[in-house]
A and B are shown apart, each in its own frame.
Chain A
Amino acid sequence: MSAAASPPPVLELSGVTKTYRVKQGLFSRPKPLRAVGGVDLRIHKKDVLGLVGESGCGKSTLAKILLGLEAPTSGRVMVDGREVSGQDRTLLARRIQPIFQDPYSSLNPRKSIEDIITLPLVVHKVGDSASREQAVSKMLDLVGLPQRVRRGYPNQLSGGQRQRVAIARALVMKPEIVICDEPTSALDVSVQSQILNLLGDLRQELALTYLFISHNLAVIEHLATRVAVMYLGRIVEEATAADLFAEPRHPYTKALLASVLTPDPSMSVPDTQLGASYPNPIAPPGGCHFHPRCAAIRDICRTVPPPHVSDAKGHVDCHLYAERTQAA
């Protein structure tokens, strides 16, 4: 990789793991649950990294680590080449802000819209009341809300308007990185497209970098510049969005793409070939974690963890590609 030539990634994870200890019964000993197992990831400025995977694969844990809401068990998180753990939480919060899935529960119902948007400024002691008022006006304009909503409350707004408030709150501190955790999946189709358009425009206008978590692959293909596919706490494939959707390499990525239901009435429901259900993360399968569901399984997959194969396109963790590169 030609990391030396390009500027350092604005966000970099190396070997990040997060292990929780969970009890399965009243008297049982707590067992380790590896929610995130050794993730390396780089996000460059103005990139939109789409993070996809099934529920329970560790997407949201990873988002929490990036937001400083959870400390990684091991590994490093670096922003602009500086390690985060040494930095102040508030400093981190100025640069990375979240937008959550459910605009009904992520806004305090007892605060006015103005209070909700200015809260980050108050917490970080930025500006005085006059400048904060100005900031709210600017934010409302930016996200396409009328000025009259500022004295209103979340329950007076529609789902799409609430998500706009959440976006305004995330952007009021002028962050560089926004973590969008399923920002449109609670919204209706017609509203979803408005929010996606808004996020796209804001990225251009403010030179933002997004980590975009979604299970809607059509949305990811539309918005992301790079895509990382997560399975059981690991990133099994990473590539540019164009490459990944044109030529998925990992069998899991292939299965994911095959299960996308494009609105084409001449096709029926696809067969994903993913027989077994999602494995228990407390006792993950040996070898390659994906082997019990894999359509291209070999003997080696049952016992040996897959190699990390990286090339110009990105990386893929799969035995299939190790052999190919060796043979070549």
Chain B
Amino acid sequence: MSEEPILAVEGLTIDIPMAQGTLHAVRGIDFELNRGETLCIVGESGSGKSLTSLAVMGLLPKRLECTARKLAFCGTELQGLPPSAMRQLRGNRMAMIFQEPMTSLNPAYTIGDQLAEALLLHRRVGKAEARTRAVELLGKVGITAAESRLSQYPHQLSGGLRQRVMIAMALMCEPELVIADEPTTALDVTIQAQILRLLVDLQREMNMAMILVTHDLGVVARVADKVAVMYAGEVVEQGTAREIFENPSHPYTQGLLRCIPVPGRTKPGEHLGSIPGIVPSLIGKVEGCAFRTRCDLAESACAKPIPIHETEGGHSWRCIHSHMDRMPA
């Protein structure tokens, strides 16, 4: 397939000027996303995964410095696009679902008004038509008695319902790309499973591309086509979900997978694996592998520029150790 990717990112860098110096929050990351694909960006807090998604949406605060060799949506370079053109895309062809539905819905407007807004803004439709579409989508996201929900305010809904409204809102204009930043973190396990299933079903039905930002490896395994593991502002490993889980190649990915209890694999009460130490400061010049301070396999070469290994299947990792000489997981 020589189809143009929905999203192509090359060398994305985000710097945050601080009193103590520049914080290199995202340090040159590359990824690509095709129609109908789901990319999961995994990482711990401070790894730069949320900033990356905000950068794609053009929602970064102005004081941050964001550069990239390429940041293209369906072939259109987003950098330097006038704000009006960016607004034309946002909410229309690309949409975002945030983590906290309570803070990202406007408490002063009804659900119906908030759902209709995007459609009235981007499409030549009347209020009645927007309303019909809102009811249709609320039904699609599994909200019963959708008609009567339109006049309700966000505080009258439960957390699960609010997140469904957020999803419906993002999908009003049938976007080609949806970015969901920890969409289920604030929810109960049962609701989490329902919401994820809903997202996956809708994504297939509408053939959207989706970026899911999460720290939950369980979610990643079940939802992702492709996975990008971020550590300290870099993508340290990237590949298909199967490759990442069955053949993790970066020591950080291997460490993360050892940290979580897996029923049937970890014995109850037994010590879980852990990653000693803490994430290094990204203020000032960062050289070599940022993970070397916590890595069992670290050696002097880790302080120098790190090569990227890549297999034919598109599995790549940033480590001095290649497949052959790495330790068994």
Q: Is the CB of A259 within 8 A of B242?
A: no
Task: Given the known inter-chain contacts A158-B278, A269-B223, please indicate yes or no for A192 contacting B194, CB distance below 8 A.
Answer: no
B-binding segment of A15-23, A63-71, A117-125, A215-223? A215-223
Q: Let me know if B190 and A263 touch, CB within 8 A.
A: no
Say whether B266 contacts A222, CB under 8 Å. Answer: yes
- CB-CB < 8 A to A188: which residues of B? 44-45, 215
CB interface residues, A 46-76, toward B, < 8 Å: 54-55
| A218 with B261: CB separation less than 8 A | yes
Assess A269 versus B197: contact at CB under 8 Å? Given A196-B272, A256-B190, A278-B160.
yes
Choice from B191, B221, B271, B278 contacting A261 with Cβ under 8 Å? B221
Binary A-proximity of B232-262 (CB < 8 A = 1, otherwise 0): 0000000001101110000000011111111
A265 and B245 contact, Cβ closer than 8 Å, known pairs A218-B260, A222-B261, A260-B263:
yes
Q: Is B275 in the interface zone, CB < 8 Å from A?
A: yes
Contact check, B189 vs A263: say whether CB atoms are below 8 A apart: no
In the assembled complex, the CB of B230 is this many whole angstroms from the nearest CB of chain A, namely 12
Given known contacts A218-B261, A218-B262, A264-B221, is B189 in contact with A190 (CB within 8 Å)?
no
Q: Determine the residue in chain B with the shortest Cβ distance to A258.
A: B193
Whether A255 contacts B222 by the Cβ 8 Å rule is no
A311 within 8 A of B: no
In the complex, the 6 A-B pairs of residues with the closest C-beta atoms, listed nearest first: A261-B218, A222-B261, A259-B193, A193-B259, A193-B272, A188-B44
A86 interface residue per 8 A CB criterion: no
Query: How many residues on A have C-beta within 8 angstroms of the other chain's C-beta atoms?
Result: 47
A261–B216 touching, CB < 8 Å? yes
**B306 within 8 Å of A (CB atoms):** no
The number of inter-chain residue pairs (CB within 8 angstroms) is 135
Q: Within residues 267 to 283 of chain B, which ones have a CB less than 8 A from any CB in chain A?
A: 268-269, 271-275, 278
Contact B188 A55 (CB under 8 A): yes
A197 and B246 within 8 A (CB) = no
Interface assignment of A33: CB less than 8 Å from any CB of chain B: no
Closest partner residue, chain B, to A255 (CB atom): B190
Using A54-B191, A222-B268 as known contacts, list a sample of 14 further A-B pairs with CB atoms less than 8 Å apart, ordered by residue number in A: A54-B189, A189-B44, A189-B215, A193-B273, A223-B268, A241-B268, A245-B263, A255-B190, A261-B193, A261-B218, A262-B263, A263-B260, A268-B223, A270-B193
Q: Can you list, as one digit per residue, whether each of A201-239 has a CB less than 8 Å from chain B (1) or not (0)?
A: 000000000000001111101111000000000000000
Q: Is A272 an interface residue (CB 8 A)?
A: yes
Contact check, A259 vs B192: say whether CB atoms are below 8 A apart. yes
Could you mark each residue 176-219 of chain B with 1 if its beta carbon is under 8 Å from any beta carbon of chain A, else 0?
00000000000011111110110010000000000000011111
Interface string of A266-297 (1 = CB under 8 A from B): 11111110101110000000000000000000
Q: Is the CB of B272 within 8 A of A272?
A: no
Q: In the complex, which residues of chain B have a beta carbon less than 8 angstroms from the beta carbon of A221? A: 261, 263, 268
> Which of B158, B189, B217, B269 has the most chain A CB atoms closer than 10 A to its own CB?
B189
What band does the interface of chain B fall in when counting residues whose beta carbon is under 8 Å from A? 35 or more
B274 to chain A, nearest CB (A): 5
* In contact, B193 and A269 (Cβ under 8 angstroms): yes
Using known A-B contacts A259-B192, A277-B161, determine if residue A219 contacts B261 with beta carbons closer than 8 Å: yes
Q: Which of A54, A194, A265 has the most CB of B within 10 A?
A: A265
Q: Cβ of B166 < 8 Å from any Cβ of A?
A: no
Name B132-161 residues within 8 Å CB distance of A.
144, 158-161
Min CB–CB distance A145 → chain B (angstroms) = 13
Does chain A have a CB within 8 A of B220?
yes
* Chain A residues, Cβ within 8 Å of B257: 263
Task: List 12 A-B residue pairs with CB atoms under 8 Å apart, sorted by A's residue number.
Answer: A190-B259, A222-B266, A256-B189, A256-B190, A259-B189, A262-B218, A264-B221, A267-B222, A270-B193, A272-B190, A277-B191, A278-B158
Q: Are A54 and B272 touching (Cβ within 8 A)? A: no
Task: Tell whether, in the assembled complex, residue B271 and residue A200 are in contact, meaning their CB atoms are under 8 Å apart.
Answer: yes
CB neighbours (8 Å) of B217 from chain A are 189, 263
